[in-house]
Structure 1
């Protein structure tokens, strides 16, 4: 492990020189590539450098213990040695995790699809709540969000909504949000005060660049139609909405949020690329794809990855058995505690597989 870490540090130092080189800075594409690589290496390098300091401290302390010390000094040295050994073990574990192969999509932006499942209008209202939750989380992290397509319900919320979250590492933070989200609360339309259970499905797709997916224009069927709002009312009389069908796979995407047909087509193509990338990766990793498919499920009430219980003010993630009594904070975009716990659990599982 140490040899591998030293190679990484050597490359890290090389990148530091490159990103400060005027000739590299003049080429913005090249400079950004090196900067991103340097940034990705920083966490492991910080740990490695601390590890080397701890190892030096261990050697110095052991050497001190070999000398003739009075009882008080020996006791202090022994206590320091124990602390250094404990930190040494922690760092070795942390570096081992950081050295594990990363998901190649982790640094990508994402396209998020939220759809109402079981529960009708109440499911649509909760789909709106989740849309706000994710956009607020993105705002908190300084990421940009853009609405790609939406189908509003009569009472508010969305039957479905598709949007992009643009930010470095967005996929690494949000990929475990895919699945069925269950809500338990008294609907606004419920006069008797009974608690209803509804579901919403969430899918998080890494955004694909044009270089990731080759699309032949001859494989596309492009239809245009009038965009419509809640209840089927036409919000304009021009055929600005766009539906694209990828004939070889049968994948269909549509966008109607822009007044411009051209802009809707551009958005459609971004969603299509993301879906085709996911499809290609699913074929390469059939087993993982089946797990993910099972996570998203059908939207039935019995299927869920997470429950939002309003009467008790709690959120429970069933995959890791974590319950937080901070529902209001979570729905306002405070997702880091949940996401950190999910990432830690995933890392532990990966380590078991390596072992």
Structure 2
């Protein structure tokens, strides 16, 4: 069995947290105190499991030595042989738990998530597929008991979506959806194609952890807010009042528009939620860039410029190009059944983090799907 990563850094961190918790001013910031307490409890469990893993290793060595000892009583050797399998199983289980514990979750994994879907190349076909992806993620969220709240949308002439922004709330939403960020490619015969030719279109998906005000401090002087009358469906009230809101964040040039609500205040609040989430995501991407040599593509960089997935309808095939995963169940996928894809991406992410922690080489991945 390969050795576990060094426990010393985790013990040092536990000592630091114990010292902080012993300070008289520890509870002056309840939120920070709760975060530190949770981290301290996890580290205590990790250190205890590491000790149990070491004890199991010593017990295995003693049992193996006893079995090799020709002078030992036959009954003792038989007893040692009987215990050896259980000890090895226990040690292997502890090792797996330790490896997972030594790779902490991303701080934003438990957050709600803002998703932005935009039609890319392909005209009407791209907007139609953007609407289908919105339905896919809505069905996936529904299946997990999450709530989907549309925030902004722009419809195309043929019933598709040029753009849709929505908030998904629930348990560990970002943990499950963060790998969906990127360019999604669709290959199929569009309904508008009279000659039966296969077209290729693209849709971009951005996945942003919902930011709280304490995460991103925004100076009101950095904002340029304009209001206008909303257009499109929504009733008389939407079209006759200045309810649409556009916010420009001058330092970054980010622009957010929200017009789905009749209330200007509600649209402003939603626009601020999206803006904070985009700024938080930008900050995370800057931090992740430090590790770009190890964690490429969305599994770390969040780069949306690269194609991450192909949906090939004539071949009933879905291919995730980052990990070389190919599935032939596209109808089920389009109904929101993407658990297998996400599980494979999470596994790949864990392996890359583990390789970084242990210094082991990362296995190369490739797509087996043909380029079309």
TM-score band (shorter)?
0.7 to 0.9
Distance 2:201 2:174 in 1: 26
Equivalent residue for 2:208, pick from 194, 205, 216? 205
Instruction: Say whether the 8 Å CA contact 1:208–1:270 is kept in structure 2.
Output: yes
Match of 1:174 in 2: 177
Distance 1:53 1:167 in 2: 39
Match of 2:131 in 1: 128
- Match of 1:350, SS state, is helix
Deviations 1:78-131 (A, max 9, x none): 376246425523531442232124322222111111101111111111111111
Q: Does 1:223 align with 2:226?
A: yes
Instruction: Say whether the 8 Å CA contact 1:54–1:87 is kept in structure 2.
Output: no
Instruction: Say whether the 8 Å CA contact 1:314–1:326 is kept in structure 2.
Output: yes
Match of 2:56 in 1: 55
RMSD: 3.9
Equivalent residue for 2:282, pick from 279, 282, 287? 279
Equivalent residue for 1:92, pick from 82, 95, 114? 95
Instruction: Say whether the 8 Å CA contact 1:184–1:308 is kept in structure 2.
Output: yes
Match of 1:112 in 2: 115
- Match of 1:197, SS state, is strand
- Match of 1:280, SS state, is helix
1:122/1:51 Cα in 2 relative to 1: closer, same or farther (>3 Å)? Answer: farther
Q: Does 1:321 align with 2:324?
A: yes
Greater mean deviation of Cα atoms: 80-89 or 212-221: 80-89
Match of 2:74 in 1: 69
1:144/1:64 Cα in 2 relative to 1: closer, same or farther (>3 Å)? Answer: farther
Distance 2:185 2:55 in 1: 47
Match of 1:296 in 2: 304
Q: Does 1:270 align with 2:273?
A: yes
- Match of 1:296, SS state, is coil
Match of 1:81 in 2: 84
Q: Does 1:164 align with 2:167?
A: yes
Distance 1:192 1:80 in 2: 71
- Match of 2:195, SS state, is coil
Instruction: Say whether the 8 Å CA contact 2:285–2:302 is kept in structure 1.
Output: no
Deviations 1:210-245 (A, max 9, x none): 011111222211111122227xx9962222111111
- Match of 2:307, SS state, is coil
Match of 2:157 in 1: 154
Instruction: Say whether the 8 Å CA contact 2:238–2:262 is kept in structure 1.
Output: no
Shift of 1:287: 4.1
Greater mean deviation of Cα atoms: 132-141 or 198-207: 132-141
Shift of 1:278: 2.2
Q: TM-score normalised to the size of structure 1?
A: 0.78
Deviations 1:177-230 (A, max 9, x none): 111111111111222222211111111111110011111222211111122227
Match of 2:197 in 1: 194
Instruction: Say whether the 8 Å CA contact 1:226–1:234 is kept in structure 2.
Output: no
